[in-house]
Amino acid sequence: MTHPVDELKTLGRLQQAYINGQWVQVSSSRTHDIINPSDESLIGELALGSANDAETAIKAAAAVFPAWSQTSVDDRLAVLDGVIALFEARAEQLAQILSTEMGAPINYARTAHVPLALAHLQVARDNLASYEFTQMRGTTAIAREPIGVAGLITPWNWPLYQITAKVGPAIATGCTVVLKPSELSPLSALAFADILHDAGVPAGVFNLLNGDGPEVGSVLSSHPLVDMVSITGSTRAGILVAQAAAPTVKRVAQELGGKSPNIILPDADLQAAIGPGVLACMRNNGQSCSAPTRMLVPREKLAEAEQLAMEAVNTIVIGRSDNETATHGPLANRAQFERVQLMIEKGLSEDTKCLTGGVGRPDGFDAGYFVRPTIFSEVTNDMAIAREEIFGPVLCMLPYDSVDEAIVIANDTVYGLAAHIQSKNLNEARRVARLIRSGQVHINYPAWDAHAPFGGYKQSGSGREFGLEGFEEYLETKAIVGFGEA
């Protein structure tokens, strides 16, 4: 049976961009090696687009914006329904591609990456169906209108999930799109472009160009025909995008880094709090900007929490991404593998207690970007491993002596993307949640909510994705005064 990645290669997608409704060869001769993180073998060479290709894609999106922005809600609903139907039909293909390109275990790709990405499309569709684009305030009409051409820059860690979180609401609101996925995990984006094409999305409404930040991302950020840019990535990358966008005064939406706390309140059931917290930190191999990587534990309960944390790590099954029984695969790329190894070394050099893990690959793995799940305890918040985003399966356990101190520790970070609170007392959990400076707070490990807005305080970004707030990110506000006068 042909692997979906081989099908993409046969179709020539790795050498192409999708511009104005057609697959075209890029004008640049630059390429990027796509590596299988499970064994470091070469999957193929990705053709990187140039600034000229970006210009072509932007102009295509700008040319069709006037017509697409005026389409009816029913017409856009029909387009989204077609995309959703094909997405569902190709779910296994997408899972296989995701697993291969960025190392997610195949069953995690099937149960998390693909269905959560689909949920973003469904939420965008449902918001479109119910949204009041014009509301009256006295005799003034408040109209919400599509902002224009949206430049979308997406990351390698949740590649398809972040694409649909941006593309879904953008096209639902009537915007046109130029997407630059990460060159480190670009294959699922190519497959997604095929879905949009086959679903009949009009030419020019959606455009895809692979490339790197300096060549393509900078053009999307600075081009005067791009009305907004939305980036999910590192804080460093978000700053560069904002700087490039400033001269054209375009909207910039940024979902950036995180160092999320998980406050285990004194009354919490440790059996219910610690194990799930460890696994939440290490989901997607720790490659999630909202992962709760700082676990704050009452000092008198630290020893018991340590034991429960080690028991949770022992349930992790590491394997190749095509291993049906693996719960955790390799990190997505070599640069991240080396970054995590460096941070583990820093943790070992600081005055911490390493409960499990450490540097190097797990036993039995001589190749691939596999990392040993690592837990540090007796960490203080001034240590590098407690302050810097590691983006790997590394948990820091920090003791505290009072709830007030825990709140101070939780907020003592440049980030503010997400937080977790565990308690038997819901009112106390709610009280603490109000005091945490982050864009999301999760109480007692709730189910994921595709309607919950997601975004950060402080250096975790600006603007929101997901849900109604993510939908409205792609809208401008117009007040038509006197609209209701007789």
Pairing between β-strand 149-153 and β-strand 176-180 as defined by DSSP bridges: parallel
Residues 6 or more apart in contact with residue 120 via CB below 8 angstroms: 161, 164, 165, 168, 450, 466
Nearest Cα residue to 95 out of 324, 285, 393: 324
Closest CA to 438 of 293, 296, 260, 292: 260
DSSP code at position 246 = G
Could you give the CA distance from residue 3 to residue 458 in angstroms, rounded to a whole number?
43
Neighbours of 239 (CB within 10 A): 13
Kind plus residue range of the DSSP H or E element containing 171: helix 159-173
Parallel/antiparallel/unpaired status of strands 261-264 and 294-298: parallel
From CA 275, how far away is CA 284, in angstroms rounded?
Answer: 16
- Report whether 80 contacts 171 (CB < 8 A): yes
Dump the DSSP string for 352-421: -EEEE--SSPPTT-SSSS----EEEES--TTSHHHHS---SSEEEEEEESSHHHHHHHHH-SS--SEEEE
Q: Is the dihedral of CA 2, 320, 114, 10 positive or negative?
A: negative
- CA nearest to 75, candidates 202, 246, 167, 189: 202
- Measured CA to CA, the distance from residue 273 to residue 419 in angstroms comes to 14
Q: Is 311 a catalytic residue?
A: no
Helix, strand, coil % over all residues of the chain, rounded to 5:
45, 20, 35
List 281, 289, 378, 396, catalytic entry: 289
Q: What is the DSSP string of 27-52?
A: S---EEEEEETTTTEEEEEEEPP-HH
Is residue 255 part of the annotated active site? The answer reads yes
Question: 215, 255, 465, 472: which is the annotated catalytic residue?
Answer: 255
Catalytic residues: 255, 289
